[in-house]
Structure 1
Amino acid sequence: MADQSKGKGIAPKRASNPADPGQSSRPLPPIRTLLEDEEDGEDYSEVIEVLKQYIKSYKRVIASQSSDIKTLLLNLNTLKASVEDSVSAIKNISSTLASLTNSSNTAATTMGKTSYSPRFDPFSGTMDLDSPPRPPRKEPHLGPAVNSATSNLDPPIDTGSKEGFKDTITSSIVKELSKKAYTIPDDSKLSRESNFEQWIQAVSIVLRALGISNFLENPDISNTYSDSDQAVLLILLRDSLSSSPRAAISWIYIPSKAFKLLVRQYSRPIESKKEDVYNEFHALTFSTYKKGL
């Protein structure tokens, strides 16, 4: 039998907890050892006290861990709020950048459409200060090549030569045409007989700006131009038309013939054309009647 002195008169031992400076550094004895030391009939008061100390020690540990968990959860919530704020800020920045990009594209598109429109609109009587300046009117317009720095201010003199027109057109005007410097508004494009005069005025402005306005009075002068220069004129004519007039000259590749066809078909009101057809019909009928006599 184990010595009865073991387990008797021994003060309860406290659990070791470094966080509690009032506790002893000695660990609590194992429960199994205390139970084996007790003899039959003895009370277990010492065992109970040790168990109480164990329970208190575990409670302190659990309370400490619970506090740490609460602190960790609080830190996680703070981090989550910070991340959400950062995401919201990034979305706002992205939205602002997208808006600025769209605004820049819209402004660039608007500038590309309007910066090179004709300076003067004869139909509204307004002046567009943002468009390139129109060369002053000066006849004759064709002539030899001139200094590029003064070509817009002093159109070349008409010599009737093919080379003069070629230098004027291909050296500067074709470059401007590639940027669509001279355009005709849609409402001024030839579409029917009723707006023929409006179309002529709009085309006259473009041709004057190019220095070849005498083409309107004498379309055959374009026959002396080079193939590339005639192509430029043909492009100008086609771009100034819409619907049926454009289709009417789609098969013509000579500017003078195309212009004459447009003048012949659209320069006179439809009523006048009907009257001519009636007169021709009556003349043909009367001629046939005379032959039958």
Structure 2
Amino acid sequence: MKGGAIRVDAHQHFWQIGRGDYGWLTPELEVLYRDYVPEDLLPLLAQQQIDATILVQAAPTLAETEYLLRLAEQHTQIAGVVGWVDFASPGAVADIQRLARHPKLVGLRPMLQDIADTDWMLRAELHPAYEAMTEAGLVFDALVTPRHLPSLLQLLRRYPELRVVIDHAAKPQIRDAAFQPWAEQMAQLAAETQACCKLSGLVTEAGERWSVADLQPYVDHLLQTFGSERLLWGSDWPVCLLAADYAQWRQASEQLLEGVEDTDGIFGLNAARVYGVGGG
């Protein structure tokens, strides 16, 4: 990477279990079942020469989004926050407009992977929320799995002006070596929309015994379809700890992208541009 290029971790989390709104976070998750706060991450960022991060919601509450924005006010390394709003609420537009006034609110993320209805994102009552997001210039972080990809394509055809980033490459089932139909559907999204994609969360989908070789076909496909200018590197810390520590994932990412002519975009400039932070 060029010495002067900004380095951005496009996807990380903080949480304090005592806040009580993380329904998915249970003792069975072991390493994750503890508080993770800025003081835990800042030394890792320094070690890996990461300049800034995008802090992403982990609870479906406005209270958590406001908590994350307070953390962003206290730590300059947090360049932006992707928060949460109940898109189906009658108050969604007012909530979006209010939160968007905060200079560090850069996007919103419904927790689509946890909603039983695969087509929920297409419901008519969500239209005002998408319109308000577009008007505010916020990024829609798509927390989807392969089952959601046809619906996501429909959504992006419906709202071509909505800025979208697909989280964790839509969570391909790497541990089962399942490549299709994920690969074909991601290629279609890349070709027909302006969506970007996060190069994050892959080690978790591969499982504890992952190898770079396991991940390489998926990363190569993302490079071939989205191109290096539409991929954003993220750690997914601390969730990544289920399979790798911060340094291990960063090192693996360098190996996975070996031979790519210019990785400055993937490792920071693209996130800075897409989220409108830090001089990208």
TM-score bracket, normalised by the shorter chain, equals under 0.3
Query: Which of the two has higher C-alpha Rg?
Result: 1
Structure with a larger share of its residues in helix: 1
Determine which structure has greater relative contact order: mean sequence separation of CA pairs < 8 Å that are 6+ residues apart, divided by chain length.
Answer: 2
Relative to the length of structure 1, the TM-score reads: 0.24
Structure with a larger share of its residues in strand: 2
Relative to the length of structure 2, the TM-score reads: 0.25
